[in-house]
Structures are given as structure tokens and as C-alpha cells.
Amino acid sequence: MKKILITGSNGLLGQKLVSLLIQYPDIQLIASSRGKNRLPFTNGYEYQEMDITNAQQVAEVVEKVRPDVIIHTAAMTNVDQCEAEKELCWAMNVKALEYLTEACEKHIVFLCHLSTDFVFDGKSGPYSEEDKPSPISFYGWSKYAAEEVVKRSKCTWSIVRTVLVYGITNDMSRSNIILWVKNSLEQQKSIKVVTDQFRTPTLAEDLAMGCWLVVDKKAEGIFHISGKDFLTPYQMAIKTAEFFQLDKSLITPVDS
């Protein structure tokens, strides 16, 4: 039986991973996040409270659980917040990886680390796994630094870079573009959405399956997993309005 520990299980991807992996009877699943468990179901997994910025707690939980695999989804991902709160961003996105990789080395754990397209500057693309990172935001720099921590470690690892993850799930502490557009238009709020960025938005369920395919094989290296559609955030907003039959005239295109 394979024992898998998920960090950030209260988040969008974390919840989708738990929902997916409890379907496999040969997996013993441990969900973890900071604070209380917000998953809408309790069967099929164990919950361990774990603050990834607390080195002692990370060491104790990994020591207790002894997982075969850790899927690390927990992170500070709000770009503006990372810029405003650099110390907290670094603690969550970089120092936490130092604690996790140390625990993975000690207990011989395969680490699957979630990263982002923000490690690139966006001047060209789409990017391949071999392209050299060149972040321009503090968030991007923190995720690039986290990747370097993983690569320098002595544990076996994979890095999964993804793009603009979206979806709907239970009791989320943070929104995503689909929920933001839907909630704003339902409240008759006008919104401004950028037209000069091109992304390949990724459905959270698809990303969860991609992560599972990586960890099931313990595939090592860097992997880019994203949606196939090449869209601007404005185009995504329009599609969201059309899908939910909401007033798309409330959406104004702007440059970033």
C-alpha cells in the first residue's frame, strides 16, 4: 500500500487530489493543511494539521506519518500579496521547502512539488521544461527559489509547473478567476479583466490527475501540466459569463 501525504489539502488542488486519491484502495491518504479540516467529507483519509512554516511541526508530522510520497500544493500564490508581504511569502514558498526536503531526505520520501508558469517572464512561450526560468515578480522569484531548493536536495523529486488553475470546490479560503467572475456578475458588479496576457488555464481536476500520474510512477524531473486552450483572462471571463448565462456587458477589457 502506498502512503501519500498532501500539503494544502484545504485548497482547490488539494481538495481535488483528496477526492481523486480516496478512490484508490491501495493508497493510504493523509491530508494536511494549516488549521481545521475544511474538506466536506471525512471518509477515506486521515487529517493532520500542519503549518508548513513551522519546521518542528513539519518534522514531527512526516516522522509520524512516514509517507512514501508527499504532494506539496501548499503555497502563498496571490501575486500582489507576495509583493506586499515578502517575508511571509519567502517563509511559505521557500523556507517551507527547506523543511520538507530535509524531512524527505531523512525518511526517503518522493517529493512532488507544485510550481508555476510565473517562474518565466512571459516574453515568449509557450515554454518547455528545458527553458531557463526568468521570473519578474517576487512570487515568481520565490517559486523559482523553491524549485532550486528541491533540485539541490538529496531526495527523489518531481516539479510540476502549472498555469492559472481554476475550479469550484468546498469552503475555499481563496477565489480563482472562474469564481471571481461568477460571483461578481451575480452581484451585478462591473469587473475589469486583462486582454494582453495569454495563459493556458488548467482545470483543477485535470491537474490532480496529472500529479497522480507523476507520483504513481515516481517520475523524476520537471513536468509542465496545463490546459490546452490558449486564452486571455478576458476571454476566460467572457466564457464564464456565457456558461452561467450572466451579463457579459459588465466585463471591461483592460491592459495589464
Is it the case that residue 228 has pLDDT exceeding 80?
yes
The DSSP result for 132-191, as a single string, is: PP---SHHHHHHHHHHHHHHHSSS-EEEEEE--EE---SS-SS--HHHHHHHHHHTT--E
- The pLDDT value recorded for residue 123 is 87
48 falls in which pLDDT band (50, 70, 90)? very high
Residue ranges covered by each domain of the chain: 2-165+202-227
The closest of 149, 138, 136, 147 to 99, measured between CA atoms, is 149
pTM (2 d.p.): 0.92
- The pLDDT value recorded for residue 172 is 59
How far apart CA 41 and CA 30 sit, in angstroms, is 13
* Portion of the chain with pLDDT greater than 90, in percent: 86
pLDDT in tens, 184-220: 999 999 999 989 888 899 999 999 999 999 999 999 9
Is it the case that residue 173 has pLDDT exceeding 60?
no
How far apart CA 205 and CA 212 sit, in angstroms, is 11
Least confident of 52-61, 63-72, 107-116, 160-169: 160-169
pLDDT in tens, 125-171: 789 999 999 999 999 999 999 999 999 999 999 999 999 999 887 66
Is it the case that residue 88 has pLDDT exceeding 70?
yes
CATH of domain 2-165+202-227: 3.40.50.720
Beta partners for 98?
A: none
89 falls in which pLDDT band (50, 70, 90)? very high
The closest of 249, 122, 255, 123 to 194, measured between CA atoms, is 255
- The pLDDT value recorded for residue 256 is 74
- The pLDDT value recorded for residue 55 is 98
- The pLDDT value recorded for residue 1 is 83
Q: Is the peptide bond before 253 cis (omega within 30 degrees of 0)?
A: no
Mean confidence (pLDDT) of the chain = 94
